[in-house]
Amino acid sequence: MNTLICLNSHYSTTRLVTKEIPNMTKDSMSKVQTQLFLPQNLHRKGEGGLRSEGYFKKSCVGKPLVTIITVALNGVNYIEKTMKSVINQTYDNVEYVVIDGGSTDGTLDIVKKYKDSITYWISEPDDGISDAFNKGISLSAGDIIGILSAGDWYETDTIAQVVSHFSTGKADIVHGMSQYWDSSAKKTHLICANHDLLHREMTVCHLTVFALRKCYTSIGLFRREFRYAMDYEWLLRAKVSGMTFLYINRCLAHSREGGISDRKWRSALWEVAQAKSIHFHGRINHLLYFVYQVIKGTVRRYLDHIGLQFITRFYHTRYSLTKKTRSID
């Protein structure tokens, strides 16, 4: 057994490091084929990290390896906070994989700034968010996998909390609350998720989701044809496949309002309806769901535009499937 090394005691990703190469074997029964490095790409802008220097991470007794995947594209204004929230975790067996879609705005300069605390990073064009997620999962060696997009960030002890809940052996997927912030860096609302209502709509905060590796190897990766609601389709697939969900009643992650699913909300709703059609019968009902949600979303945005946000806040507090509460600093 190779000796574990501490490259830098300050970071979660540089403690419990080994020179032993992980066993990324090919399994014909698995729906995920793992790899240490992505195949060569003529359009690649760069790659690096600890793996390139011969340092790797693996699970230890009592310390399962947790892989965190960050996907980014031109996220220069936000990615540093995301990355720091991962490498500064209190849990000390974290593997960090950063998948950049070929940024041109200085994002790579920030990634390279932290290259000595990233397990593996790569920058090259991809086929959208689902493709980037899938690349990251294929590069993961962890027993537990979390996805944190550029612009989101964890609480300092999030991974430690998640690992302690997985240790009970009662869950395949663990998730929790997420705090949202507006453009002026003020808290807006705290979302309390409910996985029992996934059949209705997206009632789980994907940025808080951690899944056992076996979830991906048994039900597969994200559908690349989904551009905005790929997380909902995958979680719904996991639910109908019998995966066990466990909810932590505390804030695990933070996000800024105005993400791509907010900007493309109609397209996201259409994909939610498509996901429901894939996994449940009754296509007409799902089309009606789409129409209803578009009408509701249009009314909400109009009320917000004319300064009547209190009406939508009241509605969410009383009737939303995912409880939204006002945050108190």
Burial 11-49 (b: 16+ CB within 10 A, else e): bbbbbbbbeeebeeeeeeeeebebeeeeeeeeeeeebbb
How far is the CA of 311 from the CAs of 178, 184, 250, 325, in angstroms?
22, 22, 26, 13
Residue 308 pLDDT = 62
Separation CA 69–CA 177 (nearest Å): 19
CA dihedral 59, 60, 62, 64 (to 10 degrees): -10
For residue 321, pLDDT beyond 60: no
Q: At which residue do the structure tokens 């969900």 appear?
A: 245
Residue 153 pLDDT = 98
Better-scored residue on pLDDT, 259 or 145: 145
* 195-248: pLDDT as tens digits: 999 988 899 999 999 999 999 999 999 999 999 999 999 999 999 999 999 999
Separation CA 195–CA 321 (nearest Å): 10
Q: Are the CB atoms for 254 and 178 separated by under 8 Å?
A: yes
CA 269 to chain centre: 19
Residue 188 pLDDT = 83
Question: What is the token pair recorded at 299?
Answer: 């009314």
Number of other residues whose CB lies within 10 A of the CB of residue 209: 26
For residue 27, pLDDT beyond 80: no
35-41 own/partner pairs: CB under 8 Å, 24+ apart: 35/138, 35/139, 36/120, 36/139, 37/120, 37/139, 38/122, 38/124, 38/135, 38/138, 38/139, 41/124
pLDDT band at 329 (very low <50, low <70, confident <90, very high): very low
For residue 267, pLDDT beyond 90: no
Domain boundaries in the chain? Answer: 17-258
Residue 250 pLDDT = 96
Instruction: Please report the DSSP string for 171-182 in residue order.
Output: -SEEEEEEEEE-
Query: pLDDT over 90 for what percent of the chain?
Result: 69
Better-scored residue on pLDDT, 79 or 26: 79
Instruction: Please report the DSSP string for 84-98 in residue order.
Output: HHHHT-SSS-EEEEE
Question: What is the token pair recorded at 180?
Answer: 């949202």
Strands 56-57 and 66-72, sheet pairing:
unpaired
Over range 13-20, report the average pLDDT. 96
Residue 255 pLDDT = 95
Q: What is the DSSP letter of 22?
A: P
For residue 193, pLDDT beyond 60: yes
Output the average pLDDT for the chain: 88
> If you compute the radius of gyration of the chain from its CA atoms, what whole number of angstroms results?
20
User: Which residues, 6+ apart, have CB-to-CB distance to 234 below 8 Å?
Assistant: 219, 221, 222, 223
Over range 252-257, report the average pLDDT. 93
For residue 3, pLDDT beyond 90: no
At 181, give phi and psi (nearest 5°).
Answer: -130, 150
At 177, give phi and psi (nearest 5°).
Answer: -80, 155
* 94-128: pLDDT as tens digits: 999 999 999 999 999 999 999 999 999 999 999 99
pLDDT band at 189 (very low <50, low <70, confident <90, very high): confident
In CATH terms, the fold of domain 17-258 is Spore Coat Polysaccharide Biosynthesis Protein SpsA; Chain A (3.90.550)
For residue 73, pLDDT beyond 70: yes
* 139-178: pLDDT as tens digits: 999 999 999 999 999 999 999 999 999 999 999 999 999 9
